[in-house]
Amino acid sequence: MMEDLPHILVVDDDTRLREALRRYLGQNGFLVSTAADAADARAKLAALAFDLLVLDVMMPGESGLDLCRDLTATGTIPVLLLTARGGADERIAGLEAGADDYLPKPFEPRELVLRLNAILRRLPKPATAPLEIRLGRWLFNAQREELRCGEESVRLTTGEAALLKALAAEPGTVLSREALVERAGVDAANARTIDVQVTRLRRKLEDDPREPRYLVTVRGEGYVLRPD
């Protein structure tokens, strides 16, 4: 299924190369989006989740090295750099900027596929959320998106269920609003929706929503789910 394919963002100001990579990678097991420059890439990164970035070094405006340096300093998305300069100094500069790999132009498309797959294999496997998680008298089944206590069940809206699943996938871990926006599929322009959903969930989960025990705010950081 398309949603199971690794999502790659190809960033290159060369339209012909960008489109050629979009077609080739799409035929070789990837879901591919493209961007013409760093500004376009930032807009797409803000709106969508990607598994890996293929990034040209020399672009007008913000360079690929600067974008790579910024992204790797603030996030975890792996980066493969493409460049017309293949000397040792350029490779070292790319690796120092935080790139996971470096491929000089021209290159064989098949080599790019092999390098991308190698990077993806090195990524840590996502934690598997427990099928059920205990929250006081309630039992949340993430697969069925169901909150139950014996024969009693509580209806969850689509947004509430998505948020609770995202939190239940990493119990005990503080998740920022930004992380929850991405994992719960919330419009990035409406990050405060997370706060509304949290309030609603507390009314359904907590004995005293004003003093939450399970869905807890960590001031300045985000929210954490603390099951029994």
DSSP letter at 128? Answer: P
Q: CATH for 132-225? A: 1.10.10.10
Residue 32 has pLDDT above 70, yes or no: yes
3-state SS, residue 173: coil
DSSP letter at 189? Answer: G
pLDDT of residue 115: 93
- Mean pLDDT over residues 46-71, rounded? 90
Q: Among 45-49, 142-146, 162-166, which range has the highest average pLDDT?
A: 162-166
- Mean pLDDT over residues 13-22, rounded? 95
Model pTM score: 0.56
Question: How confident is residue 1, by pLDDT bands cut at 50, 70 and 90?
Answer: very low
DSSP per residue over 62-103, as a string? S-HHHHHHHHHHH----EEEEES--SHHHHHHHHHTT-SEEE
Q: How far is 202 from 223, CA to CA, in rounded Å?
A: 12
3-state SS, residue 185: coil
**Domain limits, the chain:** 2-122, 132-225
3-state SS, residue 168: helix
Mean pLDDT rounded to a whole number for the chain: 87
Q: How many residues does the chain have?
A: 228
- Under CATH, to which class is 2-122 assigned? alpha beta
Residue 125 has pLDDT above 70, yes or no: no
Q: How far is 40 from 174, CA to CA, in rounded Å?
A: 30
Q: How far is 136 from 201, CA to CA, in rounded Å?
A: 14
Give 176 or 76, the one with higher predicted confidence: 176
Give, in order, the Cα–Cα distances in Å from 120 to each of 29, 73, 78, 107.
12, 19, 8, 20
